[in-house]
Every structure is written in structure tokens, then in C-alpha cells.
Amino acid sequence: MANLVIDIGNSYTKAAVFNNNELLKIEHYKTIDIPQLSGLTDGYTINQTIISSVKKEKDSWEEELKANMPLVYFTREMATQITNHYRTPQTLGIDRLAAVMGAHCLYPDKDNLVIDAGTCITYDYVDAGGNYYGGSISPGLQMRFKAMHNYTAALPLVNADSNFGQMFGADTESAILSGVQNGLKYELTGFIENYRNGKPQLNILLTGGDGIFFDTLLKNSIFAPYIKNEPYLVLQGLNAAIQQHND
């Protein structure tokens, strides 16, 4: 028996099959439908399905899926392993909460800083006791490049370059690369340094679509030995939630 776990984000949908805590198969979709999900789950007996979505409206395939198998939507109340101290819990993005829950389930009794590098960058800290107080939201990597292009008359749209390592730019394109990528590196190291103050064993978990790129930015930093890449942290949190929901 297996779980189907679906995370609908701003840009992509991730879907995975779990057997208990073991990730068996995963796919990424720009658009998704029932035949694609059937291909993902072929060969597995799905016992239960959970969906987390940043969208307010449901797509037709969700209703079709619900008609054919047990399905629940992830809610804040399902994050039972986390004590949520957020002042306005109803406004907390459920993807952020799922990532925090995934971190706490993977690394129990550890202090965890989750850096989710997606459309936006979120920084969320959960302590060893499962207490969550809040975090930070910042523009994502691609958003920064696009914003400078869209909100100015002359700046070109530049793509991220993992090989760029200069301290400053010698022309407009490299100056944009320096501003965005070095700026992000300074932002990341600043947040990490503040959270590690008094917590030298803090886990730093990178997740999200640009997680590997962020790891590259930090590879020569003093924090590199403490960084773990966990690209499926939200999915793992959702899987933990559905298992507890049915216990």
C-alpha cells in the first residue's frame, strides 16, 4: 500500500509515491492531468492521497481524482508534530508549514533552518522541540532578474550563471549577475549566521527548485559543512501528515 503526495506550487506541480517514509517515485509537471498521474502510480496500490496547493481554485483533475480514491487536502491543523506560534496562522502558507514539518520529521530533536528557494525564498526555523515562530519571505532568484528587466527601461533580462564568481561586474550584464547572485549569497549567509548564533549544530536544509543553485553559491562559505540538500522536503512533510492523519 502506498501514498500519493501532490504539491501544487506557483510554477510546477510535484507528485510522489511513498511507501511509509520511503520515497519510491517522483515526477515534476508544468501542467498535470489524470493520465500523467496514472503513469506515475502505475504498478502501485494507492491507499491514500494528499494534496497541498498554493492555488485558491481547484482544477478539474482534482475532482476526478477525488472521485476515484480517498483524498484529503493538507491543512494547518494536520501539522500535529509542530507547535505553531505564528501570530496569524491562517495566513501562513501551507507549503512553508509542510516544509517545516518535513524538516522536523527527518531530523527530530534538531534545530532546523529551512531555506526554500522557489518563486520566492522563504526562511523558516523550527527548534528541536517542534516549535515554529515564523520566518522570512524574500524575492526569488528568477524574480529578481525579471523585476529589474520589467521595471526599468534599459536593463536586459539576464539568466542566472552558476559559474559567475566575480566580485563585481565589468559590464551591464555582469553587473546584474553580481547584484543578484552576490546579493543573494550575502542574504543567505546573513540569515544563516543569525540563526546559528548560539546554535552551532543547526541543520541548514536547502529545498525548492533553486536549492542546488543556492548550494553552489554557498559551497565555499564557512556554512557549507552544515548544509543539507533536501529537494523533496515539502513532499516528505505532506507524507508525514497523511500518515498521522490516518493513525
Q: Which residues fall in the annotated binding site?
A: 7-14, 86, 93-96, 116, 119, 172
Catalytic (active-site) positions: 95
- Least Cα distance to 131 among 88, 100, 173 occurs for 100
Dihedral sign (CA 84, 88, 89, 94): negative
d(Cα 171, Cα 40) in Å, to the nearest integer? 46
Cα dist from 189 to 14, 35, 163, 183, 202, whole Å: 28, 43, 19, 10, 14
Binding region for K(+):
116
The DSSP output letter for 222 is T
What is the amino acid identity at position 79?
Answer: A
Rounded-to-integer distance, Cα 45 and Cα 178, Å: 49
Cβ–Cβ < 8 Å for 88, 97: no
Residue pair 98/74 in contact by the 8 Å Cβ criterion = yes
Binding residues for substrate: 86, 93-96, 172
